[in-house]
């Protein structure tokens, strides 16, 4: 496999209830950041660009000192992230040529480039492999996804208030569950397409409220096809305290 990755890790730890960035939260003895970087390297990714909160670059460097700790041959370029995930990815893309050069990889228009959330630090290597293989086989953009177990409703504001406070929403549709997938990362793209999609959607990145929550949506906005491969339930996104506990349970008892 020849693939490069942008690992997004510039988010805060507010919803997780931790003081610092979520990527520095510890899951069963190791940081989310370390686990996510090691996971991509173990799957065969050649080099990583990691987005960090600007004020945390030094702490991130102590976890990833220019390369993936157990794999000195996998270089890591750290960059400061932006105000939204989309802005962070855009900042990361600027450093992909440097990461490719450090790894001795020739970066061509069709080279597979992944975008992965550090928060999904338990993603099995097979998922990374499936995504890269699909790009290599000709897909323009690929997302891993899993069937949804909840019934999902589309809602609108109903204009009334609940007696106990909060708002009442009006259900306007029930999409068929068989046609829905919950999508995960890493998402994989041909390098030239990922660049073009971010360039096209640049104006949206300025605010969290308008920014794209995944990169595939930016490719869809270009009118290009996005393909879906099988994801994995272990690829959960650690967002809240209960996700962290579930991740620790999935990792099993600490051998120490
Ligand atoms: O906040 P959420 O968990 O949805 O963020 C998804 C991923 O994007 C996380 O790994 C987070 O660190 C990253 N992120 C980022 N820059 C931001 C916001 C989130 O790199 N401004």
What integer pLDDT is reported at residue 99 of this predicted model?
Answer: 98
Over residues 206-256, the pLDDT tens digits come to 888 889 999 999 999 999 999 999 999 999 999 999 999 999 999 987 655
**Tokens encoding 169:** 């929403």
CB neighbour burial string for 142-155, b if at least 16 within 10 angstroms, e if fewer: bbbbeeeeeeeeee
If one residue of 7, 10, 40, 56 were mutated to test the ligand 1 pocket, choosing by the most ligand atoms within 8 A of its CB, it would be 10
Q: Is the CB of 215 under 6 A from ligand 1?
A: no
Token couple for 85: 């995930």
Give which of 172, 222, 223 is closest to 195, Cα–Cα: 222
Is 73 strand, coil or helix? strand
| Largest Cα span, the chain | 63
Pairing verdict, β 47-52 and 71-80: parallel
Distance CA 141, CA 134 (A): 9
Q: What is the pLDDT of residues 140-152, one digit of tens each?
A: 999 999 999 999 9
Q: Tell me how far apart the alpha carbons of residues 158 and 147 are, in angstroms, rounded to a whole number.
A: 29
pLDDT of residue 159: 67
pLDDT tens per residue, range 43-93: 999 999 999 999 999 999 999 999 999 999 999 999 999 999 999 999 999
Q: How many CB atoms lie within 10 A of CB 177?
A: 13
Q: How far apart are CA 255 and CA 232, in angstroms?
A: 25
Looking at the predicted structure, is the pLDDT value of residue 110 above 90?
A: yes
By the 8 A CB rule, do 25 and 31 touch? yes
Which two structure tokens, joined as six digits, stand for 218?
């930016």
Cβ–ligand 1 distance for 84 under 6 Å, the answer: yes
In the block, residue with structure tokens 């370390």: 34
Please report the atom of ligand 1 found closest to the CA of residue 120.
10
Place of tokens 């962070």: 88
Strands 141-147 and 187-190: antiparallel
CA of 160 to the centre of ligand 1 (A): 33
Residue 54 tokens read as: 């600007």
Return all residues near 21 (Cβ < 8 A) that are at least 6 apart.
9, 10, 11, 12, 13, 52, 53, 56
Residue to mutate, 23, 49, 119, ligand 1, most ligand atoms under 8 Å from C-beta: 119
pLDDT of residue 68: 97
Say whether pLDDT at 35 is over 90.
yes
Between 13 and 77, residue with greater pLDDT: 77
153-183 per-position pLDDT tens digit? 999 987 666 666 677 899 999 999 999 999 9
Cis peptide before 184 (omega within 30 of 0): no
Ligand 1 atom closest to residue 119's alpha carbon, by position in its atom list: 10
Per-residue pLDDT, 207: 83
Tokens of 81: 């992230």
Note the Cα 59 to chain centre separation in Å. Answer: 20
Asked whether the beta carbons of 80 and 91 are under 8 A apart, the reply is: yes
Three-state DSSP state, 90: helix
- Decide: 8 in ligand 1 pocket, CB within 6 A: yes
């Amino acid at each position: 496999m020849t693939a490069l990755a942008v690992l997004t890790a510039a988010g805060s730890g507010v919803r997780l209830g931790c003081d610092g960035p979520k990527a520095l939260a510890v899951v069963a003895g190791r940081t989310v950041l370390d686990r996510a970087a090691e996971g991509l390297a173990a799957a065969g990714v050649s080099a990583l660009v990691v987005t960090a909160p600007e004020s945390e670059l030094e702490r991130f460097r102590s976890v990833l000192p220019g390369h993936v700790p157990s794999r000195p041959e996998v270089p890591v370029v750290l960059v400061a992230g932006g105000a939204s995930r989309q802005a962070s990815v855009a900042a990361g893309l600027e450093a992909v040529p440097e990461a490719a050069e450090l790894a001795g990889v020739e970066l061509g228009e069709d080279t597979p480039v992944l975008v992965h959330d550090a928060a999904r630090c338990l993603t099995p290597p097979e998922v990374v492999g499936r995504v890269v293989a699909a790009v290599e086989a000709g897909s323009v953009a690929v997302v891993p996804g899993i069937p949804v177990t909840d019934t999902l409703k589309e809602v609108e504001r109903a204009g009334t208030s609940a007696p106990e406070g909060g708002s009442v929403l009006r259900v306007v549709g029930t999409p068929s569950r068989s046609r829905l997938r919950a999508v995960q990362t890493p998402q994989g793209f041909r390098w030239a397409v990922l660049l073009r999609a971010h360039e096209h959607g640049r104006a949206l990145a300025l605010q969290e409220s308008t920014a794209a929550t995944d990169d595939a949506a930016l490719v869809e906005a270009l009118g290009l096809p996005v393909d879906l491969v099988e994801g994995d339930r272990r690829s959960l996104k650690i967002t809240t305290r209960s996700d962290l506990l579930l991740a620790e349970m999935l990792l099993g008892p600490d051998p120490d």
